[in-house]
Amino acid sequence: RGDCSVLIIDLKGDMALFETARLEAEERFGPGGFRWFTDASSKPTYVFNPITQSFMADLTAHQRAEVLLQSLGLEHGEAYGRSFYSRNNRAVLAALMSNPEADSFRRLQQYAANKLTGGATAKQMEDAGEVLSAIDSLASFDALNVTASHVKQRLVSPEALDRRIDLPDLFVRPQVLYFYLESTLQVAAAREIAKLAFYGLLPSAVVHRHRGVKTRRVYVVVDEFQQIVSENLEILLRQARSMGIAAILANQTLADLKTAGVDIIPAIQANTRFKQVFAATDLYQQDALIKASGEIMHHMYSTRESASDISVTTSEQIGPRFRRNDIIRLTDREKYSIVQISRGSGYTRFEGFSFPLRSDYHITAGQHKKRSETPWPAQQPGTMSPPLPTGHEPPPAAPPRTPQNNPVIAVEVHDTRQHAPSKKPKRKTAPSDSEESHDERKS
């Protein structure tokens, strides 16, 4: 479809997928229809600053903090114990965001380091290690922290800011945005960047709806989806469809979507129209496929033979449509997968039942090898090559004075001028050799 936008979040760093997306996007939308962001320090990239996204201008400091909190997975729910850290994370992040010129994670890092905490108490900052750790991690990426001040200092070109990645633009102009994240080298940082891009779509759609802007459909493709599983993703998956957002999620196994304290498998099963399993090698996935395949009537035959005759008995038994042996065979067959389509229409009306599907690859093995070996795109107008020169970051502005960051110290002053001696005290001199020295402490 040429009237939609696509956001691809690649947590594996697949160069073949990157090149395929680039070729298809430029053929459909022209040279300007494909932009990318990468966390690799030596590759040209477009700028992506999550804090200066255009939808943030319509939000208050607390709302901006809430968006970042949800994006980074720092909202742990309202259960006893968890709610303390959720509220503390929210309070600290909102306090840091209330400072002037809070336009990047690097700036937030400076505010925290210089104790410009915007009213957050020392105890709150002490318990905010999770927030501060995420800020420190994201502050280390130059392309995540480019602001207008860098353009004024000529550290980056004006085109880098003009052509920066702005998520709300996906709903206005058809295009392809690609996040090439090498999670093998920096797992935590890649996860955080991926969640910032993924979750940022929802407030972008909400703000456009409030403005009355007509939006287009956006497709999100996430490879290695299991790496960004968190509690708040369930909310995103449930609300995305009503906002015109469709998600294509690729994960290794179904069990990966259930971690300690987080289980988004029910949300995935309830909100997915098309499921395709290429390899069901773990028992958890096999059991899920058996249960979801439906039931049919199995006929059981038993034979009894005696000296005089042979009798055959037939019985009926209800069982699953797919048995474990069927799944094992399909998994082992090349180009075969198990597909389930919910609420199908037209030629895809399978009544919601799973079925085996044979499909070919979209490109040949030779094309895949060629695209995998394609070099990274060279510097282009609007891209930057990290790292930025160090030592040019403007100092953080001082926040407005408040009782929290500018306490008044009461000092009691006594006027002793009336009781002061009229004569100056005599200056003590060292005794000469002929004089006898007396120890006044004994008298």
Higher pLDDT, 422 or 117: 117
Residue 405 has pLDDT above 70, yes or no: no
The stretch 26-48 carries a mean pLDDT of 91
Q: In this model, does residue 409 exceed pLDDT 60?
A: no
Mean pLDDT of the chain: 83
Residue 394 scores a pLDDT above 60: no
pLDDT at res. 329: 92
| Local structure of residue 267 (DSSP, 8 states) | H
Q: Can you give the pLDDT at residue 2?
A: 66
**CB crowding 94-123: b at 16 or more within 10 Å, else e:** bbbbbbeebbbbbbbbbbbeeebbbbbeee
How far is Cα 384 from Cα 300, in angstroms, rounded to an integer?
Answer: 69
How much is the average pLDDT of 34-54?
A: 93
Report the pLDDT value the prediction gives residue 120, as an integer from 0 to 100: 80
Say if residues 155 and 145 touch (Cβ distance below 8 Å). no
Q: Among 43-57, 272-286, 298-312, 412-426, where is mean pLDDT lowest?
A: 412-426
pLDDT at 419: 46
The C-alpha atoms of residue 336 and residue 341 are separated, in whole angstroms, by: 16
Q: Tens digits of per-residue pLDDT, 286-329?
A: 999 999 888 888 888 888 888 888 888 888 889 899 999 999 99
What number of other Cβ atoms are within 10 A of residue 194's Cβ? 24
- Full-model pTM: 0.82
pLDDT of residue 255: 87
Q: DSSP of 171-217, one letter per residue?
A: GTS--EEEEE--TTT-HHHHHHHHHHHHHTHHHHHHHHHHHT-----
Report, as an integer, the average pLDDT of 231-236: 80
β-pairing verdict for 176-180 and 5-10:
parallel
Q: How confident is the model at residue 349 (pLDDT cuts 50, 70, 90)?
A: confident
pLDDT for the residue numbered 312: 85
Element holding 5 (H helix, E strand): strand 5-10
Where are the extended beta strands (E) located within 209-294? 218-223, 245-250, 258-259, 262-263, 274-277
Q: What pLDDT is recorded for position 438?
A: 45
* 147 C-beta neighbours (distance < 10 Å), count: 21
pLDDT at 104: 92
Is the preceding omega at residue 400 within 30 degrees of 0, hence cis?
Answer: no
| Residue 397 pLDDT level (bands cut at 50, 70, 90) | low
Domains of the chain: 5-293+322-372 (3.40.50)
Would you tell me the crossing angle of helices 187-199 and 233-240 to the nearest 10 degrees?
30
Average pLDDT over residues 216-221: 93
